[in-house]
């Protein structure tokens, strides 16, 4: 089996030849540190927004080298909306969102083109352009058809709040202006469907719908609010992806238990990353393993940054024992390989997956 | 009057901002002391919504609108609150350098304000020197540090050290998803809480302990 087949088989809850290994995201620093194990031709250590075009290409090539050398089964691309720099720490994207860039993670919207219900009509929707998918095109070109091409796209909740520049603002309107919340979700869902179409046309196999819906304690909204403001749009997006013959995964950190039933009902093929501090992967497997592929769960909060390689191996072994039998499990960290993760621990994670992840799974208690 | 205060409490809990402001005005016109309005309606409302939140019976949207209604009520009260009445004390809050996450800190702010604290929020991605400057300038009763990432959490001991160099008795609370009681103890924090509501409870304990 090649990686793509392995990923698609697992997502359809069948057993591939071995547990697929994939990662939703690597930061610049992690790519460069991992790349150093395999090549000397590395870009300088800085944020992608501050790199020259040549440096960005080198960063992508380093990522492709890591994927190839570690024989990962898929590669994740993000849309790169053209941005214009505002100052050292902020850029503005095609929607007019102001994003704060950070060494520790992805850029986050801190200001939006929308202030509230009064100016929704005046917003000019952004339409995706092929140049937004340069990373996907480059990944497809470099790695060919043997690797699953995953495109990460923020879901309707995240796209909505980022247009307001603040999650709290959107959650305030959940109570105060339900009509506005739905109109806004409609606007961004139309955009997401356009992104899906273009991504599929350009070679994406899997869509990962990003945007946390929960935090460590519980979901960001009540189950009733999820059902009213998010669920219908999730259904629409999964149906659209399936109509195009592709698969879709929902990503959310945090304790998603209150709305897990909705995530399954909405038609997602997989759920990532089952944050181990908040959700027990065995319980997720027992309750939803027959309807949902599970992705992730290898702790990147404490284990990958501070644990030993032996501890990582032990955790991978245990997770495979619990989640992999019968298929429907893709191994990855519990969020991303961020700069705090020890590169040696990531390598140990991949190695352990190969050691214990061969089907039929025979890991002892 | 107790019926009016009960209506005010309900209005805050329901996030009815205009209603809350108008009931505060009515209570003041009826001769109630500002302190009594705070203690018997506004703070109990936030305490109850906070408790429901910590039991997962209320969610962030309900907490946000209640905090907004409380704020509107407070706007009516502030001009008539006596100068000495500083509430429970001043808390300075910020997310440590490298970390741009805000929602956890903002929830803590809402719960602290609901508990009667004055809160100065110095934002996200705050450099250690900025915490020290803010501490020196305002001498808060409590300094609160937030981090969402296990990598940025490592900044917390540095901030604690720098602030304690300024004031060895500084009361410093830490919190955020990766933070644990064990980590808080190890880095010498004065307090930790696993969620926003309990952070307000802990803050009350810490200032009570300080004044003893």
Which tens digit of pLDDT belongs to each residue from A176-233? 999 999 999 999 999 999 999 999 999 999 999 999 999 988 999 999 999 999 999 9
Order of strands, sheet of B89-95, starting from the edge strand that comes earlier in the sequence: B117-121, B89-95, B142-146, B172-175, B191-192
Using the Cβ of B123 and the Cβ atoms of chain A, whether some distance falls under 8 Å is answered with no
Domain final position from B31, B55, B80: B80
Please report the residues numbered 128 through 157 in chain B whose beta carbons come closer than 8 angstroms to any beta carbon of chain A. Answer: 149-152, 154
State the CATH number of the domain containing residue B19.
Answer: 1.10.1240.10
User: Could you tell me which of A163, A162, A160 has the C-alpha nearest to residue A181?
Assistant: A160
Name the residue in chain B with its Cα closest to that of A221: B59
Name the residue in chain B with its Cα closest to that of A213: B60
Candidate from A183-187, B85-89, B151-155 with smallest mean pLDDT: B85-89
**A153 - beta bridge partners?**
A209
H/E run at residue B106: helix B103-114
Mean pLDDT for the stretch of residues B136-144? 97
Name the residue in chain A with its Cα closest to that of B98: A104
Candidate from A205-209, B62-66, B112-116, B168-172 with smallest mean pLDDT: B112-116
Name the residue in chain B with its Cα closest to that of A169: B64
| B97 and B182 fall within a common domain | yes
CB A359 within 8 A of CB A18: yes
Cβ atoms within 10 A of the Cβ of A261, count?
Answer: 14
Q: Residue A329 corresponds to which tokens in the numbers above?
A: 């499990």
Question: What is the SS3 assignment for B145?
Answer: strand
Match 């039998």 to its residue by tokens. Answer: A325
pLDDT at B85: 63
The shortest CB-CB distance from B61 to any of A105, A172, A338 is to A172
Chain A positions contacting chain B at CB under 8 Å are 100, 102-105, 108, 110, 166-168, 171-172, 174-176, 215-222, 225, 258, 277, 300-302, 305-306, 338-340
Domain final position from B80, B107, B139: B80
State the CATH number of the domain containing residue B100.
Answer: 3.40.50.280
A102 interaction partners in chain B (CB closer than 8 Å): 98-100, 125
| B12 and B38 fall within a common domain | yes
Percent of chain B past pLDDT 70, that is, above it, reads 96
Using the Cβ of B71 and the Cβ atoms of chain A, whether some distance falls under 8 Å is answered with no
Using the Cβ of B176 and the Cβ atoms of chain A, whether some distance falls under 8 Å is answered with no
Chain-chain contact of B177 with A218 (C-beta, under 8 angstroms): no
H/E run at residue B146: strand B142-146
Match 């273009």 to its residue by tokens. Answer: A198
User: Could you tell me which of A72, A79, A71 has the C-alpha nearest to residue A208?
Assistant: A79
Interface test with B, best of A91, A168, A335 (most B CBs within 10 A): A168
Mean pLDDT for the stretch of residues B188-193? 96
| B98 and B202 fall within a common domain | yes
Min distance B95 CA to chain A CA atoms (Å): 13
Mean pLDDT for the stretch of residues B86-97? 90
Chain-chain contact of B61 with A171 (C-beta, under 8 angstroms): yes
- DSSP labels, A162-220: HHHT-HHHHHHHHHH-HHHHHHHHHHHHHHHHHHHHHHHHTT--EEEEE---B-SSSBS
Q: What are the backbone dihedrals phi and psi of residue A184, each rounded to the nearest 5 degrees, phi first?
A: -65, -40
| B6 and B94 fall within a common domain | no
pLDDT at A88: 84
| B151 and B74 fall within a common domain | no
Going along chain A from its start, the domains and CATH numbers come out as 3-82+120-356 (3.20.20.210)
What value of ipTM does the predicted structure carry? Answer: 0.92
What count of CB pairs under 8 Å joins A to B?
A: 80
Q: Domain range for residue B120? A: 89-211
> Using CA atoms, how far apart are residues A210 and A188, in angstroms rounded to an integer?
13
| B15 and B53 fall within a common domain | yes
How far is the CA of A214 from the CAs of A254, A258, A266, B144, in angstroms?
A: 5, 9, 17, 23
> Using CA atoms, how far apart are residues A146 and A139, in angstroms rounded to an integer?
11
Backbone dihedral region for residue A274 (phi beyond 0: left; psi -120 to 50: alpha; all else: beta): left
| B128 and B178 fall within a common domain | yes
Name the residue in chain A with its Cα closest to that of B150: A301
For each of chain A's 365 residues, which pLDDT tens digit applies? 999 999 999 999 999 999 999 999 999 999 999 999 999 999 999 988 789 999 999 999 999 999 999 999 999 999 987 788 888 888 899 999 998 887 666 778 888 899 999 999 999 999 999 999 999 999 999 999 999 999 999 999 999 999 999 999 999 999 999 999 999 999 999 999 999 999 999 999 999 999 999 998 899 999 999 999 999 999 999 999 999 999 999 999 999 999 999 999 999 999 999 999 999 999 999 999 999 999 999 999 999 999 999 999 999 999 999 999 999 999 999 999 999 999 999 999 999 999 999 999 998 76
Match 């919190």 to its residue by tokens. Answer: B175
| B93 and B62 fall within a common domain | no
CB A80 within 8 A of CB A151: no
Q: Residue A46 corresponds to which tokens in the numbers above?
A: 């800085």
Question: Cis ω on the peptide bond leading into residue B14 (within 30° of 0)?
Answer: no
Chain-chain contact of A340 with B151 (C-beta, under 8 angstroms): yes
B102 interaction partners in chain A (CB closer than 8 Å): 166, 168
Chain-chain contact of B150 with A305 (C-beta, under 8 angstroms): yes
Min distance B129 CA to chain A CA atoms (Å): 18
| B117 and B53 fall within a common domain | no
* Pairing status of strand A293-295 against strand B117-121: unpaired
Domain final position from B56, B80, B104: B80
pLDDT at B82: 67
A216 interaction partners in chain B (CB closer than 8 Å): 177
Buried b (16+ CB within 10 A) or exposed e, A114-153: beeeeebeeeeebebeeebbbbbebbbebbeeebbbbbbb
pLDDT at A105: 63
Chain-chain contact of B68 with A338 (C-beta, under 8 angstroms): no
| B69 and B97 fall within a common domain | no
**A247 - beta bridge partners?**
A206
Chain-chain contact of B150 with A302 (C-beta, under 8 angstroms): yes
Using the Cβ of B55 and the Cβ atoms of chain A, whether some distance falls under 8 Å is answered with no
Chain-chain contact of A215 with B104 (C-beta, under 8 angstroms): yes
| B31 and B93 fall within a common domain | no
Domain tally for chain B?
Answer: 2
Min distance B3 CA to chain A CA atoms (Å): 26
The Cβ-side half-sphere exposure at B9, using a 13 Å CA radius, reads 19
Chain-chain contact of B151 with A338 (C-beta, under 8 angstroms): yes
For residue A363, what are the contacts with CB-CB under 8 A and spacing of at least 6? A317, A318, A320, A321, A356
| B15 and B97 fall within a common domain | no
């Amino acid at each position: 089996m090649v990686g793509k087949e392995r990923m698609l088989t697992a997502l359809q809850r069948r057993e591939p030849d071995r547990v697929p290994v994939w990662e939703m995201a690597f930061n610049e620093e992690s790519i460069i540190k991992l790349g150093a194990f395999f090549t000397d031709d590395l870009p300088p250590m800085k944020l992608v927004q501050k790199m020259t075009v040549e440096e960005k290409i080198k960063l992508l090539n380093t990522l492709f080298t890591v994927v190839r050398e570690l024989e990962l089964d898929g590669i994740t691309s993000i849309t790169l909306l053209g941005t214009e720099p505002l100052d050292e720490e902020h850029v503005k994207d095609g929607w007019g969102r102001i994003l704060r860039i950070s060494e520790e993670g992805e850029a986050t919207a801190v200001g939006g083109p929308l202030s509230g219900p009064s100016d929704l009509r005046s917003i000019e929707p952004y339409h995706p352009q092929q140049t937004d998918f340069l990373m996907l095109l480059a990944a497809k070109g470099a790695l060919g058809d043997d690797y699953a091409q995953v495109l990460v796209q923020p879901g309707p909740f995240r796209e909505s709040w980022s247009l307001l520049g603040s999650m709290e603002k959107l959650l305030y309107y959940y109570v105060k202006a339900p009509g506005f919340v739905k109109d806004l979700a409609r606007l961004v869902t139309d955009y997401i469907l356009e992104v899906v179409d273009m991504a599929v046309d350009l070679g994406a196999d899997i869509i990962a719908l990003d945007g946390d819906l929960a935090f460590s304690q519980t979901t960001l909204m009540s189950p009733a609010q999820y059902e009213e403001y998010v669920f219908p749009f999730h259904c629409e997006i999964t149906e659209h992806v399936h109509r195009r013959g592709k698969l879709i995964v929902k990503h959310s950190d945090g304790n998603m238990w209150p709305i897990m039933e909705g995530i399954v009902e909405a038609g997602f093929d997989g759920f990532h990353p089952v944050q181990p501090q908040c959700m027990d992967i065995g319980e997720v497997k027992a309750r939803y393993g027959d309807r949902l592929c599970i992705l992730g769960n290898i702790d990147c909060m404490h284990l990958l940054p501070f644990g030993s390689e032996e501890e990582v191996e032990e955790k991978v072994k245990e997770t495979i024992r619990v989640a992999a039998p019968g298929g429907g499990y893709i191994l990855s960290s519990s969020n991303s390989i961020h700069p705090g993760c020890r590169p040696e621990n990531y390598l140990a994670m991949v190695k352990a997956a190969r050691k214990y992840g061969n089907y039929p799974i025979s890991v002892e208690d | 009057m107790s019926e009016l205060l009960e209506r005010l409490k309900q209005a805050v809990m329901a996030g009815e901002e205009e209603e809350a402001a108008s009931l505060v005005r009515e209570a003041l016109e009826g001769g109630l002391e500002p302190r009594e309005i705070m203690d018997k309606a506004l703070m109990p409302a936030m305490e109850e919504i906070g408790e429901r939140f910590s039991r997962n019976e209320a969610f962030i949207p309900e907490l946000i609108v209640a905090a907004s209604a409380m704020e509107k009520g407070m706007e009516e009260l502030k001009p008539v609150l006596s100068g000495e009445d500083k509430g429970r004390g001043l808390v300075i809050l910020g997310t440590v350098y490298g970390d741009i996450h805000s929602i956890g800190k903002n929830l803590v702010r809402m719960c602290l304000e609901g508990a009667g604290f004055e809160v100065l929020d110095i934002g996200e991605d705050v450099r250690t020197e900025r915490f020290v400057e803010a501490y020196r300038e305002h001498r808060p009763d409590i300094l609160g540090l937030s981090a969402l990432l296990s990598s940025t959490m490592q900044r917390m001991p540095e901030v604690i050290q720098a602030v304690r160099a300024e004031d060895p008795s500084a009361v410093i609370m830490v919190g955020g998803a990766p933070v644990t009681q064990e980590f808080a103890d190890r880095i010498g924090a004065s307090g930790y809480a696993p969620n926003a509501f309990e952070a307000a409870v802990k803050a009350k304990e810490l200032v009570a302990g300080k004044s003893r």
